[in-house]
Amino acid sequence: MTNVLLQDWDTPFAIAPFDRITDDDFAPALDTALALHSADIDAIAGNDAAPDFANTIEALEAAGAGLDKVLGAFFTVAGADSTPAREALQRDFSPRLAAHFAEIAGNKALFARVAAVWAARDALDLTDEQARVLMLTHRNYVRAGAALEGAADARMKVMKGRLAELGTAFTQNLLADERDWFMPLSEADLEGLPGFVVDTARAAGDEKEAGGPVVTLSRSLITPFLQFSPRRDLREKAYRAWAARGANGGATDNRAIAAEILKLREERAQLLGYASFAEYKLETEMAKTPAAVRDLLMSVWDPARARAEDDGAVLEQMLRADGIDGPLEPWDWRYYAEQRRKALHDLDEAEVKPYFQLDRMIEASFACATRLFGLAFKPLDVPLYHPDCRAWEVTRDGRHVAVFIGDYFARGSKRSGAWCSAMRAQAKFPQAQTPVVINVCNFAKGDPALLSYDDARTLFHEFGHALHQMLSDVTYESISGTSVARDFVELPSQLYEHWLEVPEVLREFATHAETGEAMPQDLLDKVLAAATYDMGFQTVEYVASALVDLAFHDGPAPADPMQKQAQVLEEIGMPRAIGMRHATPHFAHVFAGDGYSSGYYSYMWSEVMDADAFAAFEEAGGPFDADRAAALEEHILSTGGSVDAAELYIAFRGRLPGVDALLKGRGLAA
């Protein structure tokens, strides 16, 4: 019987038929897909015809469609519903895929054809989009090492394979630590916790078959536990376990892996002629240089640290008033910050949370997209990879636009965090295809499922990424959707968060889980007034992580990353009661793959733009101004990577932004 992963899918909108795919299908499907892709590449490289855009660049765009299908299905389930069998497959696939793509990047005959088309570009009468695809294709081959010869070429291939192995190991070690640790709670240990935290702890205990409530290392449980538990001893135990992920010794320890990754990245950059990996990585981003990144981060660090130190002094006074002989520790900050928030803003998250029902927040994210871009969302009854998933058909004026899949709940088989991915990206060549886009989150289950305000922001954030994929309108898949500079990719997602804060959106969709009543105006006012509360803490924990990431890659690779981390934190004056958002052994953004390496700063780079971009709506007719929405779609959401990111932003706004709007938006302006 033909492997289902290699067939044409006769499902609605050709969604992967997850009810017919088994783990046994993946390995043989990958074998076949790799062989077919290699044959495509050999045919392009060995073409006797003179190289031109169609027989070389467009041929590369069309190659490997079957491989994309197999990998789209596999990596969806590997990240969101892992099993021991899938983890074993991932360990096998990662070095094979790295070797496959390294072989393509090192194919001298193929690169010669790409280089010939590049050299003749001025005489080819290309469209602007074709010229962009040609430039990016040529640049990507050069940066991948296609021009290397001899020993350097061979070494590059070996390094790529080893980096793939290490990234997979880092990810699986982190998942194992997060999955395996839990702290049982007695009924007495639940005292002082709001009902929603108790319910989540009981549900987690059921999943772990622990015979009672537990705290796990899922952010949706450990964060509110640290926020609300009056038991300092339990907070300390939970926090230390959370901070120690990937650094517990034994088979799941990530510290040596991180050191080897950094060394290999440095060697890779030097083989390509760069002084450091950061210089190599940032060359293609908006920031361009490590110095520009450092300047941005430090311009935010100083006011954020000053605010955090002022706040920390107040929280330490509260600690001492409780009869504890200080100093304030990282497992104390969230607890006392929550007590202070209640006092300052008369705001209790347990009072707020019933107004943020998951289903209503999904409706809100859809409704904003309807008002801004004319999109409609209709539930789809299709088999998906887990019972928690749900799907919608996205249309505009009756025309099919995309399929959107939401996978919202935390579970032991899902890696932590939240992300957006496209199982199929938008393209018009070699044939038209509409996107299948997935948002994966880790919210606590409940009946109904209730979100914190930060959870609701995460939902809007990931849906902003989804809109970038769904509204893409380009010809070539390589520049579709979120295929943009790393420090530009977070602009649509962070910008979309602003619509959660629009009062009319909250009035309509923030309705009480039991009474169905809208959030009272005085509570709404408090929620919005507290939006920048504790922003010193939030900014410090993020910027510290970004500065450590930059330091790891801007200069010689540290032999001991933990020592380097400690050195950077000391140099910048990290407040002792605040931990990095992502310490090295669990910094998956940086070590699970190359995506955010030297690039964790990009959230803040994008935030400079998103604060300024939302101001454009406010300066016009308001948050739903039709002209601004049309300009946002035309210049940013539909264009993918078809134009340089800075040019796109200037086309939308008329200029590049400064850091002032960001500081104002975070409440850190002088």
Asked if residue 477 lies in contact with residue 61, where contact means CB atoms within 8 angstroms, the answer is yes
What backbone phi and psi angles, to 5 degrees, belong to 21?
-90, 130
CA angle, 394 then 396 then 401, to 5°: 45
Q: What residues are paired with 355 via a beta bridge?
A: none
Q: DSSP E strands: which ranges in 87-192?
A: 182-184
The span from the CA of 156 to the CA of 594, in Å, is: 15
SS3 at position 363: helix
436-443/399-409 β-pairing? parallel
Alpha-carbon span 606 to 488, nearest angstrom: 6
Q: With helix as H, strand as E and coil as C, how does 568-633 read?
A: HHHHHCCCCCCCCCCCHHHCHHHHCCCCCCCCCCHHHHHHHHHHHHHHHHHHCCCCCCHHHHHHHH
Sign of CA dihedral 89, 91, 94, 95: negative
Can you tell me whether residue 396 is helix, strand or coil?
strand
Task: Enumerate the β-bridge partners of residue 394.
Answer: 377, 402
Residue 316 is a catalytic residue: no
Q: What are phi and psi of 160, to 5 degrees?
A: -60, -40
User: Bridge partners of 214?
Assistant: 184
SS3 assignment, position 244: coil
| End-to-end CA separation in angstroms for the chain | 68
Question: Could you tell me which of 153, 167, 48, 201 has the C-alpha nearest to residue 97?
Answer: 167
Would you say 66 and 37 are in contact if contact means Cβ atoms under 8 Å apart?
yes
Only one residue has tokens 């908006």, namely 286
Which pair of tokens denotes residue 449? Answer: 């499922």
Number of C-beta neighbours around residue 473 at 10 A: 16
Among residues 58, 316, 338, 462, which one is catalytic? 462
Burial 114-130 (b: 16+ CB within 10 A, else e): bbebbeeeeeeebeebb
DSSP of 360-377: HHHHHHHHHHHHHH-EEE
**Could you tell me the two tokens for 5?**
């992963």
Catalytic residues, by residue number, are: 462
